[in-house]
Amino acid sequence: MTHSDSSDVDAKSDKQGILPAAKAARDGGPDVLNFEIFVQPKFSKLELSAIAAVLDTANDVQTKVRFNWTICSDTPGLVANGNFLVRAEPIIEGDFLKDCMIIVGGDECNSNAWMRRVRAMQRHKRPVVMLSDAATEFVKTTRQAALPATTHWRDIPILNEIDDFSGLSTKLAEYGNNILTCAGRGHTLDLMFNLVADFMTPHEKADMASLLMLDSVRGFHREQPKGHAQGNTFLEGPLKRAIQLMEDTIEEPLPIGELADQVGISTRQLERLFKIRLNSSPAKTYKKIRLKRARSLVVETRISLLEIAIACGFSSTTSMSKAFRQAHGVTPNHLRKKPKE
């Protein structure tokens, strides 16, 4: 394993670690570190699986520390995302706190269910890890008091439409005030690896990386790969630059001819490239990117449809609604009124 990002990990996690020291086991066995994993309906299956995979593997490759975890929820019992079910224990109020709390992201993530728990963890100087949607909810709730903080890149433009969150980081993870906010999703595996690695020898870390099929681990301070173009090895050359320009100019879309000029090829070449590689046209791809942003703003915010139309490069709510209906079979107004399933 090449821990290629060791210089990228923030100073605290690189030197003394974010997790507290493990406690001696009562039975004389390995020292123990206890995690509380908080889930809500429609939790991220990817994030929960990544957490369990790293903790399981860490327990397999070393005997010095035992990583125990309990899945908890404000809706205890069977908690579901589609046909993926987990059994969650109820939250025990008071001082029954674990060594570390991890809040999994998801479509129905609601900070009202866990904010009191987070404050209790902070008072006891115990770390809380917030992934993707949970980080977004935390930032919304605490406003600028949450900084330093980050969340998944797709939520940052939405947050900035609600209020001024210009201080938000676009790093993969940020740590401050015993809160570790993270982009989540695929980075959850890297993040968990970094957290437990402080308790392991270099040989054990290499063994764990091999079992998890990792040849490198991204540190906390690497920039997130934002959008289809940034950091994407599946797109390259003029196609990647064109999509990057589209994502950077959603509010004021460029004419396709100007887009081609900035990329450095002719309009005909650009259209041919999109047809061959994406089976689409530059204009259709551009509209799809803008509509994706518009849909997020309609569903996740309460800002007016006119403001959303302007922010996504449409001349009016009528033109946005027409494009919306063609793409999604429903108008923005109906989508906003529709209850979340």
Pairwise CA distance, residues 258 & 267, whole Å: 9
Cβ burial of 51 (10 Å; 0-12, 13-18, 19+) is buried
Whether residue 6 is contained in a domain is answered as no
Q: Report in angstroms the alpha-carbon separations of 61 from 4, 37, 223, 309.
A: 21, 22, 30, 53
User: Does residue 140 share a domain with residue 286?
Assistant: no
- With a cut of 60, say whether residue 8 has pLDDT above it: no
End position of a domain, from candidates 211, 246, 273 = 211
User: Does residue 247 share a domain with residue 201?
Assistant: no
For the chain, the distance separating the N- and C-terminal CA atoms, rounded to the nearest angstrom, is 43
- With a cut of 50, say whether residue 14 has pLDDT above it: no
Q: Give residue for tokens 């309990």.
A: 70
User: Does residue 241 share a domain with residue 204?
Assistant: no
User: Does residue 272 share a domain with residue 192?
Assistant: no
- With a cut of 70, say whether residue 16 has pLDDT above it: no
- Nearest alpha carbon to residue 186 among 81, 46, 57, 49: 46
Whether residue 314 is contained in a domain is answered as yes
Whether residue 220 is contained in a domain is answered as no
pLDDT digits (tens, 9 = 90+) for 122-131: 999 999 999 9
Domain of 330, in residue numbers? 237-337
Whether residue 104 is contained in a domain is answered as yes
Of the pLDDT bands very low, low, confident and very high (cuts 50, 70, 90), residue 80 is very high
Contacts of 272 (CB under 8 A, 6+ apart): none
User: Does residue 60 share a domain with residue 127?
Assistant: yes
User: Does residue 252 share a domain with residue 172?
Assistant: no
Q: What is the CA radius of gyration of the chain?
A: 22
User: Does residue 285 share a domain with residue 172?
Assistant: no
User: Does residue 250 share a domain with residue 205?
Assistant: no
Q: Once rounded to an integer, what is the mean pLDDT over residues 138-148? A: 80
User: Does residue 185 share a domain with residue 80?
Assistant: yes
Phi, psi of 181 (to 5 degrees): -95, 145
| CATH at residue 99 | 3.40.50.880
User: Does residue 171 share a domain with residue 93?
Assistant: yes
- With a cut of 60, say whether residue 238 has pLDDT above it: yes
Whether residue 268 is contained in a domain is answered as yes
pLDDT digits (tens, 9 = 90+) for 187-220: 999 999 999 999 999 999 999 999 999 988 999 9
Summary mean pLDDT of the chain: 87
| CATH at residue 271 | 1.10.10.60
Q: Give residue for tokens 């790093």.
A: 171
Whether residue 174 is contained in a domain is answered as yes
User: Does residue 192 share a domain with residue 48?
Assistant: yes
Q: Once rounded to an integer, what is the mean pLDDT over residues 8-20? A: 55
Whether residue 146 is contained in a domain is answered as yes
Q: What's the number of domains the chain is made of?
A: 2
User: Does residue 190 share a domain with residue 272?
Assistant: no
Whether residue 217 is contained in a domain is answered as no
